[in-house]
């Protein structure tokens, strides 16, 4: 595509486009004038860019000093006129979708660059990417979180342009190397930014948990599934209080609470934290806290899964039938009760405490005859003198000294952290 030399008034852009697309150039000229007025001069700037990017069909056009000044004057006049009309009639630019014009202009410029720079189409591709993202964002089709992420990542395009300029002509495949290096740099910065924000506590969202438990319920199953949250579970003062607690966290989190007591004497309470948006806003993410009180004097099963955060399970005053803990990243502190399950065989189905990336401390009552099967890494566990580390051919077992028959069995897994066993007087 070229600018027309014979059918030209303002540089031959409309003439060249009209000849290529078989459209009357005057229709294109009227369209440019109208868009320039409506868009407050943006279309005029786009016209000037096309004039600069598109070659002219005749070499005679190299002598163009006067035409340059003429086109610049016309462009400035149209720009100022459009700015004045747009300022006086803000309703006009609003109702005609003025927000779409800049992305369209960027797309046109990027396409022209691709056509002109066949050997190095990188800059045209960058403009097409910017224009496409801007257009989708203006149309409202991009999720807010993704739009925020792409907006923050636009600085990487400057890195890409700079690397391309520095590496061009010096090494082979310079464009590919520049793209790969830019992606690595931007990804590293984004990962660091999200991790830093995720570690900061948030209090934008507060959810109160108040679930009464009927007197006919004899077994309560509590399931907790959280994301980037510190979890603290402890016994309530009395049974009639039910399950109470509070979640404090980010607006990017959503707490789903379900309760089912249709089984008669067994009830199940599930508290699950989900991510409200597929692409969270950077300024909205952060660490949450969940504090939950479980009623005593009722048989309970506690299942906790936490993706990232510290988990504290103070279960000393509960009738604990079974506890299952899985922490992906973070430390855990568990206080066990002096209680023997009545509905489950602790040897056939032992409680499991798993911390995949972190340390775990377990407090066990001195009066409880317990055995702990270990699944650990290279770290040697720490334990009190009343316990003995027995070599079982695997990672060992901690057993209470002088006991041949155990009343409680547990499995502790911490392949990348330290296992600590301590006793209390309870």
Cα separation, 105 vs 98, whole angstroms: 11
In a shared domain, residues 193 and 209: no
> Is 3 a domain residue?
no
Sign of CA dihedral 137, 138, 144, 149: positive
In a shared domain, residues 130 and 269: no
In a shared domain, residues 262 and 334: yes
- pLDDT, one tens digit per residue, over 263-282 is 889 999 999 999 877 666 66
Residue 63 banded pLDDT, cuts 50, 70, 90:
very low
pLDDT computed for residue 184 by the predictor: 80
| pLDDT over threshold 60, residue 73 | no
**Average pLDDT across the chain, whole number:** 79
- For 138, phi and psi rounded to 5 degrees? -65, -35
| pLDDT over threshold 90, residue 343 | no
In a shared domain, residues 129 and 214: no
> Is 311 a domain residue?
yes
Number of domains observed in the structure of the chain: 2
In a shared domain, residues 73 and 187: yes
In a shared domain, residues 308 and 261: yes
What's the average model confidence in pLDDT over 364-384? 91
pLDDT computed for residue 221 by the predictor: 97
- pLDDT, one tens digit per residue, over 232-257 is 999 998 888 899 999 999 888 899 99
In a shared domain, residues 265 and 123: no
Provide the percentage of residues in the chain whose pLDDT is more than 70. 66
> Is 146 a domain residue?
yes
Among 107-121, 168-182, 224-238, 348-362, the least confident range: 107-121
- 233, 334 in Cβ contact below 8 A? no
> Is 4 a domain residue?
no
In a shared domain, residues 249 and 292: yes
pLDDT computed for residue 112 by the predictor: 56
Tokens representing 276? 């409200």
What's the average model confidence in pLDDT over 76-99? 50
> Is 187 a domain residue?
yes
Cα separation, 134 vs 405, whole angstroms: 70
Residue 101 banded pLDDT, cuts 50, 70, 90:
low
Among 114-118, 192-196, 337-341, the least confident range: 114-118
pLDDT computed for residue 169 by the predictor: 62
**Higher pLDDT among residues 154 and 303, named by residue:** 303
In a shared domain, residues 275 and 155: no
- 124, 111 in Cβ contact below 8 A? yes
| pLDDT over threshold 70, residue 157 | no
In a shared domain, residues 86 and 223: no
What lies within 8 Å, CB to CB, of 38 at 6+ separation is: 82, 86, 92, 93, 96, 98, 101
In a shared domain, residues 187 and 237: no
Nearest to 357 by CA among 329, 336, 395: 329
- For 54, phi and psi rounded to 5 degrees? -80, 130
Domain end call among 197, 226, 258: 197
| pLDDT over threshold 50, residue 129 | yes
In a shared domain, residues 22 and 104: yes
pLDDT computed for residue 103 by the predictor: 55
Residue given tokens 């189905």 in the structure block? 349
> Is 7 a domain residue?
no
**Higher pLDDT among residues 402 and 234, named by residue:** 234
- 38, 102 in Cβ contact below 8 A? no
- 357, 329 in Cβ contact below 8 A? yes
| pLDDT over threshold 50, residue 61 | no
pLDDT computed for residue 119 by the predictor: 47
Domain end call among 197, 232, 249: 197
Q: What is the largest CA-CA distance in the chain?
A: 106
β-bridge mates for residue 253, sequence order? 275
Residue 121 banded pLDDT, cuts 50, 70, 90:
low
- Residue range(s) defining the domain that contains residue 292: 205-424
CA–CA distances in Å: residue 164 to residues 118, 157, 168, 203: 16, 10, 6, 44
> Is 320 a domain residue?
yes
Domain end call among 197, 219, 247: 197
| pLDDT over threshold 50, residue 95 | no
| pLDDT over threshold 80, residue 130 | no
Among 25-39, 131-145, 326-340, 347-361, the least confident range: 131-145
- pLDDT, one tens digit per residue, over 196-216 is 776 788 888 999 999 999 999
Residue 180 banded pLDDT, cuts 50, 70, 90:
confident
pLDDT computed for residue 314 by the predictor: 96
> Is 5 a domain residue?
no
């Amino acid at each position: 595509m070229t600018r027309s030399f014979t059918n030209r008034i303002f540089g031959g852009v409309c003439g060249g486009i009209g000849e290529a697309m078989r459209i009357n150039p005057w229709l294109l000229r009227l369209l440019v004038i109208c868009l320039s007025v409506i868009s407050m001069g943006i279309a005029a700037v786009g016209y000037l860019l096309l004039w600069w990017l598109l070659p002219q069909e005749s070499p005679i056009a190299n002598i163009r000093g006067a035409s340059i000044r003429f086109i610049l004057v016309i462009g400035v006049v149209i720009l100022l006129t459009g700015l004045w009309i747009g300022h006086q009639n803000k309703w006009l630019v609003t109702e005609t979708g003025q927000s779409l014009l800049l992305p369209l202009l960027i797309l046109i410029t990027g396409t022209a660059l691709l056509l002109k720079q066949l050997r190095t189409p990188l800059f045209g591709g960058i403009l097409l990417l910017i224009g496409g993202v801007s257009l989708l964002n203006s149309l409202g089709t991009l999720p807010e979180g993704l739009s925020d992420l792409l907006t923050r990542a636009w600085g990487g395009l400057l890195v890409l342009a700079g690397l391309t300029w520095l590496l061009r002509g010096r090494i082979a495949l310079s464009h590919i190397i520049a793209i790969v290096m830019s992606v690595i740099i931007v990804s590293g910065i984004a990962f660091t930014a999200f991790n830093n924000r995720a570690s900061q506590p948030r209090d934008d969202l507060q959810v109160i948990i108040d679930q009464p438990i009927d007197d006919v319920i004899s077994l309560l199953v509590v399931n907790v599934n959280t994301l980037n949250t510190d979890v603290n579970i402890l016994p309530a003062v009395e049974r009639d209080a039910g399950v109470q607690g509070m979640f404090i966290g980010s607006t990017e989190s959503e707490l789903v609470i379900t309760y089912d007591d249709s089984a008669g004497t067994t009830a199940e309470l599930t508290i699950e934290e989900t991510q409200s948006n597929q692409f969270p806003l950077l300024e909205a993410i952060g660490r949450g806290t969940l504090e939950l009180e479980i009623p005593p004097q009722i048989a309970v099963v506690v299942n906790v899964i936490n993706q990232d955060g510290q988990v504290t399970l103070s279960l000393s005053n509960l009738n604990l039938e079974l506890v299952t803990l899985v922490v992906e990243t973070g430390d855990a502190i568990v206080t066990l009760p002096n209680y023997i399950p009545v509905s489950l065989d602790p040897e056939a189905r032992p409680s499991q405490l798993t911390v995949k990336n972190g340390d775990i401390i377990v407090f066990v009552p001195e009066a409880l005859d317990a055995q702990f099967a270990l699944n650990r890494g290279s770290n040697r566990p720490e334990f009190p003198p009343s316990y003995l580390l027995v070599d079982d051919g695997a990672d060992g077992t901690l057993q209470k000294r002088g006991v041949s028959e155990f009343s409680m069995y547990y499995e502790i897994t911490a392949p990348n952290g330290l296992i600590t066993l301590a006793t209390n007087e309870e």
